[in-house]
């Protein structure tokens, strides 16, 4: 008999949060929801508490805590209410929590995700931005605490499944030539750059294969999502930039591949449904039902692969360049991207300017060393300020 795992979900009201709760609800004898968090979606969070009865709940925007308390009291739900970033960190470190799903979007998830790593939890990492910006600090924290880090990003989860068990350290020593990181190419894969000037947020968020939160959907449209994933793979698997090759695969059936020295290429296939990687990580090393149907290869018929177009999608080159620069450059890239994507989603920046803002932010900030968490936070703040200035200047010219 397996002992029950107590799970905390950071970012429970999001797309990954919903998929995680779906898998958990299929296995009440294996998993129990111990804690849930959200930014400020009080009604959704209260509804989740009614359904899953966690011990703790946290609303990151503390101003919303009184309303959450009221809602829960009204519904007769007795969980402890925490608030603010300190509450997120507390949830991630609770002694009774065995496993933390880190599914907050963006750098906002860094402290809580890192707290779970520091507390030595089984850490299911969806919040890729935390690893991208804090790579060496994050990995050292995991090493020192002995936390078990399992990737949720579908590509990295696929790579993890294709690697020899317990792989860490240099790829070459394990007979691996390279990682083939697949990506659908996003909603604009076959659109000319000139056609993208007037793209709206809803068009950018209409991903052909995946249903996701709006920030990662825009990242998929610019292909910065793949750029962030290159950096994520560097840290998760100890791969050099040269060992990570992006392969455009429009069907999103092959979720990534690993090529070995003997010429073998091992791939993981499945429906584009995040419940598969979530279930793989939740039950690891066992396998459980995730509510995902069999892959019908006869219906799919053919799989195709293309070279990425680095000219139409400059985000890929920006990510490779930031990775090669090292230090705080990936944190700068990520912060500029978050600011530019938010401006695009709010109608303050045209789609094609997103990567231009990132490029200009990187060019204006010389790479600084990144050794401590404070270095990460300082680089993030500097890049946000710079990116905001660039957007304001652009808008004053456009006005």
User: Which partner in ligand NAD, Mg ion, none is near 126 (CB below 5 to 8 A by kind)?
Assistant: ligand NAD
d(CA 190, CA 167): 37
Do residues 354 and 218 make contact, with C-beta atoms less than 8 angstroms apart?
Answer: yes
Q: By C-beta, is 129 or 155 nearer to Mg ion?
A: 155
Q: By C-beta, is 8 or 274 nearer to Mg ion?
A: 274
Q: By C-beta, is 153 or 380 nearer to Mg ion?
A: 153
Our CA dihedral for 66, 68, 70, 75, rounded to 10 degrees, sits at: -170
Q: By C-beta, is 110 or 176 nearer to ligand NAD?
A: 110
Choices 93-101, 146-154, 164-172, 173-181; region in contact with Mg ion by CB under 5 A = 146-154
Q: How far is the CB of 159 from Mg ion (least distance, A)?
A: 11
**Residue 139 vs residues 190, 361, 373: alpha-carbon distances, Å:** 37, 26, 12
Structure tokens at 90: 């507390």
Mask 332-371, x = binds ligand NAD (CB under 6 A)? ----------------------------------------
Terminal CA-CA length for the chain: 66
Please name the residues in contact with 82: beta carbons below 8 A apart, sequence gap of 6 or more.
56, 57, 58, 59, 88, 90, 91
d(CA 222, CA 216): 10
d(CA 372, CA 378): 10
Choices 38-46, 234-242, 250-258, 361-369; region in contact with ligand NAD by CB under 6 A = 38-46
DSSP strand pairing (265-269 vs 254-260): antiparallel
Q: Is 153 in the site for Mg ion (CB under 5 A)?
A: yes
Residue among 49, 92, 93, 129 that touches ligand NAD (CB under 6 A): 129
For tokens 């970012």, the residue is: 11
Q: Is 108 in the site for ligand NAD (CB under 6 A)?
A: yes
Output the residue with the shortest Cβ distance to ligand NAD: 14
Give the binding site for ligand NAD (CB under 6 A). Answer: 11-17, 38-39, 41, 60, 103-105, 108, 126-129, 153, 210, 212-213, 215-216, 274
Give the binding site for Mg ion (CB under 5 A). Answer: 153-155
């Amino acid at each position: 008999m397996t002992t029950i795992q107590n799970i905390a979900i950071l970012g429970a009201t999001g797309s990954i949060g919903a998929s995680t709760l779906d898998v958990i609800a299929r296995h009440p004898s294996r998993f129990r929801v111990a804690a849930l968090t959200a930014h400020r979606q009080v009604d959704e969070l209260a509804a989740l508490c009614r359904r899953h009865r966690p011990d703790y709940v946290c609303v990151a925007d503390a101003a919303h805590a009184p309303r959450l308390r009221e809602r829960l009291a009204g519904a007769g739900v007795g969980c402890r209410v925490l608030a603010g970033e300190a509450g997120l960190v507390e949830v991630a470190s609770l002694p009774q929590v065995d496993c933390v799903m880190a599914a907050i979007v963006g750098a906002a998830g860094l402290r809580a995700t890192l707290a779970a790593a520091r507390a030595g939890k089984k850490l299911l990492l969806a919040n890729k931005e935390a690893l991208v910006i804090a790579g060496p600090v994050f990995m050292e924290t995991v090493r020192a605490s002995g936390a078990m880090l399992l990737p949720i990003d579908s590509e990295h989860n696929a790579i993890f499944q294709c690697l020899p068990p317990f792989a860490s350290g240099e790829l070459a020593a394990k007979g691996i030539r390279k990682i083939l990181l697949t990506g659908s190419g996003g909603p604009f894969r076959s659109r000319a750059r000139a056609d993208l000037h007037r793209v709206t947020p809803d068009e950018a968020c209409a991903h052909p294969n995946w249903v996701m939160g709006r920030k990662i959907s825009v990242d998929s449209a610019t292909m910065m999502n793949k750029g962030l994933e290159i950096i994520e793979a560097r840290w998760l698997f100890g791969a050099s930039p040269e060992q990570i090759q992006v392969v455009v695969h429009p069907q999103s059936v092959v979720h990534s591949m690993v090529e070995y020295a003997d010429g073998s290429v091992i791939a993981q296939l499945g429906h584009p449904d995040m419940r598969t990687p979530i279930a793989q990580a939740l039950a690891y090393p066992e396998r459980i039902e995730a509510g995902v149907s069999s892959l019908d290869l006869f219906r799919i018929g053919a799989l195709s692969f293309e070279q990425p177009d680095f000219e139409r999608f400059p985000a890929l080159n920006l990510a490779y360049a930031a990775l090669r620069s090292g230090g705080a450059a990936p944190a700068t890239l990520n912060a500029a991207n978050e600011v530019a994507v938010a401006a695009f989603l709010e109608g303050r920046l045209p789609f094609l300017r997103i990567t231009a803002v990132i490029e200009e932010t990187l060019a204006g900030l010389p790479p600084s060393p990144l050794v401590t968490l404070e270095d990460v936070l300082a680089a993030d703040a500097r890049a946000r300020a710079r990116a905001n200035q660039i957007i304001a200047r652009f808008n004053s010219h456009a006005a």
